[in-house]
Amino acid sequence: MPSGLPPRFAPSPPKAELKRREKAFLLDCVAISSIARDYSYSAPKAGTVIPPYNAQNDRHALAYFRTKPLPPLLRKTGQSRGGTSIHGVTVDRFQFQGAAAGYLRTRNKNGAGHSADQVKGHSLFLSEVKPIFGYNGLYGYRRNTPALRKVPSPFGVITQSAIH
């Protein structure tokens, strides 16, 4: 980039795309925490919060699995269609087809994993502010005499607040 020019940033996505991303955001920390705590006693490897690592599904290791000696070896060992994680077939099955996975899938499909507070974050701050009418009334200060309560200023009222 030539010096002296301001850096260019990608434009913000359209509102429809932002809405789609918001709906796709899942907040499973509480549900996953209770599932992991429950399974930590009976099946600690199977009930882990982090999915087991499968090198064949890692895009950074994909070139290694395509090198000349590997495909015949993977076919011979029965791992040519995706393989298993480092914990084995049983843990993989439990992780993706077990009771906890079914619960999370059903929960998220029905919208329970979505949280507007987490998705919108700081944009919710002061988004629904209601006006505060205290002792001083609608216009601010100096409303302590009856004349000032009726007519706030002899020079007129210049305010951006709604006058009721």
pLDDT score recorded for residue 78: 84
pLDDT score recorded for residue 127: 77
- Total residues found in the chain within this entry: 164
Instruction: Label each residue of the chain as H, E or C.
Output: CCCCCCCCCCCCCCHHHHHHHHHHCCCCHHHHHHHHHHHHHHCCCCCCCCCCCCHHHCCCCHHHHCCCCHHHHHHHHCCCCCCCCCCCHHHHHHHHHCHHHHHHHHHHHCCCCCCHHHHHHHHHCCCCCCCCCCCCCCCCCCCCCHHHHHCCCCCCCCCCCCCC
Greatest alpha-carbon pair distance for the chain in Å reads 96
pLDDT score recorded for residue 142: 56
pLDDT score recorded for residue 86: 82
pLDDT score recorded for residue 117: 67
pLDDT score recorded for residue 82: 80
> For the chain (length 164 residues), average pLDDT per consecutive 10?
68 86 75 83 77 87 89 87 83 84 83 67 75 62 64 66 56
pLDDT score recorded for residue 40: 82
pLDDT score recorded for residue 133: 64
pLDDT score recorded for residue 4: 65
CA 107 to chain CA centroid, Å, is 16
pLDDT score recorded for residue 60: 93
